[in-house]
Amino acid sequence: MKLNGSEILIECLKEQGVDTIFGFPGGAVLNIYDALYKHRDEITHILTSHEQGAAHAADGYARATGKVGVCIATSGPGATNLVTGIATAMMDSVPMVAITANVTLPLLGRDSFQEVDIAGITMPITKHNYIVKDVGELARTVREAFRIAREGRPGPVLIDITKDVTAAVCDYEKKLPKIRPTATVSAEMLRLDEAIQMIHESRQPYVFVGGGAILADCSEELLEFVETIDAPVCDSLMGKGAFPGDHPHYTGMLGMHGTKTSNLGVTNCDLLIVLGSRFSDRVIGNAEKFAANAKILQIDIDPAEINKNIGADYAIVGNLKDILAELNRKLPRLSHQKWMAEIAMNKQSYSLAYDESTLTGPYVIEELSKLDDGSFVIATDVGQHQMWTAQYYKFRSPRTLLTSGGLGTMGYGLGAAIGAQVGCPDKHVFNIAGDGCFRMNLNELATAVRHQIPVVEIILNNHVLGMVRQWQTLFYEGHYSSTTLSDGVDFVKIARGFGCEALAVTKREEVGPALRRAIASKRPFVLDCQIGMDDSVWPMVAPGAAISDIIIGK
C-alpha cells in the first residue's frame, strides 16, 4: 500500500496503540495535522496552549497510565518549546515520544525560517533521537523509537521529520509490535545467594524504594518482600505509592525533607536494601556520612546507577519485579521485633506536625488525602507544596503521584494533570501548585476548558516563591531578593476568565466543602488557598549536612 509520510506516521502510531497525542500545529507540521484530521476518530489530538504544556501532558499521561506518551510540535520555536518537557521526562525515566517536523531537506543547514537542529539540541536529554530525511526510513524509525522509549529504563525519544518526508510517498506494510517476554531466569537470578545471605545476617535492615519500583510495576512483590523480611520502608519522592503510605512498616520519605524516623533509621541500620533509586543528592545529603554503618544492597535495571553516587557492597542488575519475586520465593519469613519496635517508637516521637491554628498547606493536603477513595491522582509543581504533598498525603498505590523529581520543573503540574486526566478518565485528578509555579503555565487552563477536562487546580498561595524564600531565611540572612510576588494578581478572576469555576479559600473550615464542591463539579476548577508567606517545610537537612543532622523548625 502506498501512503505519504504523514499517513505512514499515523499508521505506525496506531500500530503502537497510541490513542492520544498532545500538540500544537505550525507550518512544517501541517501535513501531519492533515493526516491527524483524517484519523480523528482513531487518535484524539489535545490542542494545548503551549508546546511545553503538550510535553508535560504527554509525560503525565505516561506516568499515570504506564503507556508511552506522545507529543508533537512544529519546527524552530515549536520544537524548542518541548525541550524542558523532554528533559523532565529524561530525568524521571518517563517513556515518551516527541515528534517534530523540520524544514525541507534542501533548506536544512541554511538558517532557514523556523529551522533549528532539534536533534542536536536534545541529544543529551533523550535516550535516542532521529532526524528522518528519507520516507523509506520513517516506519522503521517510529517503531524503533517506541521500543527504545519502553525498554529497560524508560525515557523520551525524539523523531524529527523533514517536511518533504511528510509529503513523500512510499510503500507501507503494517507491522504490529512484537511482545518481548521477560526472561524468568537470568544470569542475575543465579547471583541472589549473596543478597539472601546479607538479608539473613542483618539485624537492622531498612528498605529504600525509588521510582524504579513504580516503573517495574512491582508493588505486590515489594509488599510481600517487606513483610517477609520484616523491615521498615522509606521512599524517595519518585517512589511514592510503590509501597502503601498507610502501612505500619512505612516511615515516610528519606532525605532533605524526609521524616526524622526515616533519616535516623537509615543512618542506624546495618543493611540498606535499595530498590530502583539513583541516590539523588537530595536523598543522601553528605555522601560520606550516608548509611555509614550499613552494608548496601542495590538492585536496579540500569547498570549505570550502580556505584554512581553511593558505593554498593553488593548489586544486582535486572528487572526489579522478577528479582523481588525470586527473593520472595527463596527467603523464609524473618522477624526483627526489637528493630521494628525502635522504629515504631521513633514514628510516634518524631511525627510530622504543623501549626493547627490557621490555614496551612499541610492542612489542605491532609484534607484532600482524607477524601481519597482510591480514585485520586495527584500532580504537583515544584517547591514547598511539592514537599508538603510528599510528607502529608497518604499515597496508597503506584502512578498516583506525578511530579518533577529530577529536573524540578516549575510549571510542570497543570499540563501533567491534564495528560493524566485524559489517560485516566475514571480518576479524579488534582494539581497542587504554588502561586509562583501556577503563573508559569496557567494558560493551560484554557486547554482544560476547551476539551472539558475536569482537573482541579489547588494553589497554595503564599504570595512568595516559598522554597527560595525559606532558603533565604535560613542561609542568606533574610535577604529576600526577587522572591516576593505581592502584586495583587487575583487567580480566581483569572480562572473564571478562562472559563473555569473558582473559589478563594482563606479559612480552615472552608477547605473540606471547597474540595468536595470542586470534585462534584466535574469541570475544570481552581481553588486559591491563601496561606502564610513564612510557612516553611520541616523537617529539613541543610545542604551538605548528613541526613541525621535534621532541622526540626520553629
Q: Are residues 28 and 110 in the same domain?
A: yes
Given this model, what pLDDT does residue 486 score?
83
**What is the distance of C-alpha 260 from the center of its chain?**
24
Residues 268 and 136 grouped into a single domain: no
pLDDT at 186: 54
- For the chain, how many structural domains are there in total? 3
Domain limits at 91?
2-171
- 16 & 39 share domain: yes
Q: Are residues 458 and 335 in the same domain?
A: no
- 317 and 194 both lie in a single domain: yes
| Within-domain flag for 179 | no
Name the DSSP class of 407.
S
CATH number at residue 48: 3.40.50.970
Residue 182 lies in a domain: no
End-of-domain residue from the set 145, 171, 197: 171
Please report the DSSP string for 446-493 in residue order: HHHHHTT---EEEEEE-SB-HHHHHHHHHHSTT--TT-B--S---HHH
173 is catalytic: no
Question: Per the residue annotation, which of 114, 144, 501, 530 is the catalytic one?
Answer: 114
Residue 414 lies in a domain: yes
For residue 206, give the nearest of 239, 223, 224, 229 by alpha carbon: 229
Catalytic residue status for 345: no
Selected catalytic residue, list 127, 163, 260, 347: 163
Decide if 355 is inside a domain. Answer: no
Say whether both 514 and 436 belong to one domain: yes
Residue 543 lies in a domain: no
15 in catalytic set: no
pLDDT score, position 185: 47
**315 and 418, same domain (yes or no):** no
Write the CA distances from 286 to 311, 315, 391, 530, 548, integer angstroms.
13, 22, 22, 36, 10
pLDDT value at residue 217 = 97
> Hey, what amino acid is at 92?
D
Q: Show Cβ contacts of residue 442 under 8 Å, excluding neighbours closer than 6 positions.
A: 414, 491, 494
In a domain, 385, yes or no: yes
What are residue 286's phi and psi, to 5 degrees?
-70, 110
**Same domain (yes/no): 334, 229:** yes
CA 224 to chain centre: 25
pLDDT in tens, the chain (554 residues): 999 999 999 999 999 999 999 999 999 999 999 999 999 999 999 999 999 999 999 999 999 999 999 999 999 999 999 999 999 999 999 999 999 999 999 999 998 999 999 999 999 999 999 999 999 999 999 999 999 999 999 999 999 999 999 999 999 999 999 876 544 445 455 679 999 999 999 999 999 999 999 999 999 999 999 999 999 999 999 999 999 999 999 999 999 999 999 999 999 999 999 999 999 999 999 999 999 999 999 999 999 999 999 999 999 999 999 999 999 999 999 999 999 999 999 999 999 999 999 999 999 999 999 999 999 999 999 999 999 999 999 999 999 999 999 999 999 999 999 999 999 999 999 999 999 999 999 999 999 999 999 999 999 999 999 999 999 999 999 999 999 998 889 999 999 999 999 999 999 999 999 999 999 999 999 999 999 999 999 999 999 999 999 998 76
Q: Which of 171, 204, 238 corresponds to the end of one domain?
A: 171
d(CA 421, CA 64): 9
Are 161 and 222 contained in the same domain? no
Burial class (CB in 10 A: 0-12, 13-18, 19+), 379: buried
Q: Is 51 a catalytic residue?
A: yes
Out of 90, 238, 253, 467, which one is annotated catalytic?
Answer: 467
Report DSSP letters for 34-57, one per residue: HHHHHTTTTSEEEE-SSHHHHHHH
Q: What's residue 184's pLDDT?
A: 47
163 annotated active-site: yes
CATH code for the domain of 243: 3.40.50.1220
Cα–chain-centroid distance for residue 133? 33
Regarding whether 426 and 343 lie in a shared domain, the answer is: no
Assigned domain for 354 exists = no
Q: Does residue 552 sit within a domain? A: no
Same domain, 135 and 196: no
pLDDT at 554: 60
Global confidence as pTM: 0.96
Do residues 342 and 380 both lie within one domain?
Answer: no
Judge whether 67 and 423 are in contact, CB under 8 Å: yes
> Which residue among 38, 113, 194, 522 is the active-site one?
113
| The one catalytic residue among 51, 115, 221, 366 | 51
Do 188 and 318 form a contact (C-beta atoms < 8 A)?
Answer: yes
Which of 171, 200, 228 is the last residue before a domain boundary? Answer: 171
